Amino acid sequence: MPSFEDFKPFFVTGLSLGGVYALSGTGIVVLYRATGVLNLAFGAVGAMGALISWALINHTSANQYVAYAVCILFGGIVTLAYGIIFGPPLAGRDPLVKAVGTLGLALILLGFMSWFWPPKSRSMFLPTSNSGYQIGIVHVTWTQIIGLVAAVVVTIGTGAFLRFTRLGTAMRALADDREIAATLGVPVRRVEAVAWLGSGLLAGTAGLLLSDLVALDAVTLTFLVISSLAAALIARLQSLVVTLFAGIVIGLVDALITPILSISTYRDMTPFVLATIGLLWISRRRVVSVGRAGT
């Protein structure tokens, strides 16, 4: 059994990764509450943004900060475009149908990614990974700090946005009851567009950070969405604060298992196991009931 000292660096990794999971989780939760769409292409969008960034940096003379901005913007624009084009036709359908739609988007993105960027070793090296702090024997990069801090900032910011701004209140109304919100004059399409754009920007940001913290690989980044999904599910797709804590815990569990060698081969299973727990948790409910409590 490794000593406490051995765990320390993984502690740092876990916190920063967990922060990014929480960040993504927030994007997933807010979008789901506002539109009923569980965006399973969240990771794929970030992955493609990161690959575009990489291409800009390594194959053009573009300024690297522009490239990073492109990644984040790509996330926002593609997600927004999907929401505008496929949101309305699927609006009245079951959440399952809406989620399968995002699987379609994920396939499109995965297809393009493996077409233009055949599997090869690539890496993303953010400038913030150059420097950092030294805590004891552990080196913490700025990227890792950003991962955690961004999560906290986004959670607080989104919470404040939802609570104190008009648009945020409209979004909460939409989440509560779409039909009534519409009759109350809430600009449904506009509010949804904001949710799509916001969640897309978060996807781009998460993609950028994860490409540095984990790997720049299309499939890996796409399926990292499962960890974020687990966090969102444990929060019952509702509470931002729970998403934050759940994300961080998931990141920690994921990382801290690595030094425990005997199960590290199965470490990759952690996100799946945690997401399964999240799904069972969110589905605790009573017996089948028919319709509303009416007559």
Partner 1 sequence: MIAVEELTVRFGGVTPIDSMTVSFTDGTCGLIGPNGAGKTTFFNVLSGFVRPASGSITAFDRDLLSMADYRRARWGLRRTFQTEQAIEQLSVYENVAMIHEHSRTQRSSRRRAVLGALEFVGLAAGSDEKVGTLSARDRRLVEVARAVVGEPRLILLDEPAAGMPEEETLHLADVIRRIPENVGALTILVDHDMSLVSSCCTTTAVLDFGKLIALGPTSEVLRDEHVIRAYLGTEEVEAEA
Partner 2 sequence: MNAGGAPSEARASLSLPERRPTAGTIVRGGVIAVLLAFVLAGLPPLLSVYWLDVLTAVAIYSVVALGLNLLVGRVGLVSLGQIAILALGAWVAARLDFATSLPFPIVLLATGVITAVLGVIVGLPALRVSGLYLALITLMLAGAITIVLNSTNFPNGGGGFLGHTESSFGSGGIRRPSIAVSDQAYYRYAVVLAALMFVLALLHVRSKPGRAWAAIRQSEPAALAAGVNVTLYKLWAFALAAFITGIAGGILGGSSGKLFVTQFTTQGSIILLAVVLMGGVFSLWGALAAGVLLQLLPALLNDWGAPPDLLTVIFGVGVLQVLVTAPEGLVVQVPRDLATLGRFLLRLGRRAASLLGGAQ
**Is 118 buried (19+), middle (13-18) or exposed (0-12) by CB count in 10 A?**
exposed
Least CB distance to partner 2 at residue 39 (A) = 12
d(C-alpha 225, C-alpha 14), whole Å: 16
Q: By CB under 8 A, tell whether 38 contacts partner 2.
A: yes
Q: By CB under 8 A, tell whether 286 contacts partner 1.
A: yes
> Is the separation of the CB atoms in 267 and 218 below 8 Å?
no
**Is 179 buried (19+), middle (13-18) or exposed (0-12) by CB count in 10 A?**
exposed
Residues 263-282 that bind partner 2 (CB under 8 A): 265-266, 268-269, 271-273, 275-276, 279-280, 282
Q: Which stretch binds partner 1 (CB under 8 A): 22-30, 105-113, 245-253, 287-295?
A: 287-295
- Longest CA–CA span in the chain (Å) reads 68
- If the CB atoms of residues 37 and 67 are measured against partner 2, the closer one turns out to be 37
> Is the separation of the CB atoms in 5 and 137 below 8 Å?
yes
The one-letter code for the residue type at 16 is S
Least CB distance to partner 2 at residue 29 (A) = 15
Residues 203-222 that bind partner 2 (CB under 8 A): 219
User: Computed from CA positions of residues 142, 147, 148, 152, in that sequence, does the dihedral angle turn out positive or negative?
Assistant: positive
The interface partner of residue 145, options being partner 1, partner 2, none and the CB cut-off 5 to 8 Å by kind, is none
Residues in contact with partner 1 by CB under 8 A are 286-291, 293-295
Residues in contact with partner 2 by CB under 8 A are 38, 86, 89-90, 93-97, 99-101, 103-112, 114-115, 219, 223, 226, 229, 265-266, 268-269, 271-273, 275-276, 279-280, 282-283, 288, 290
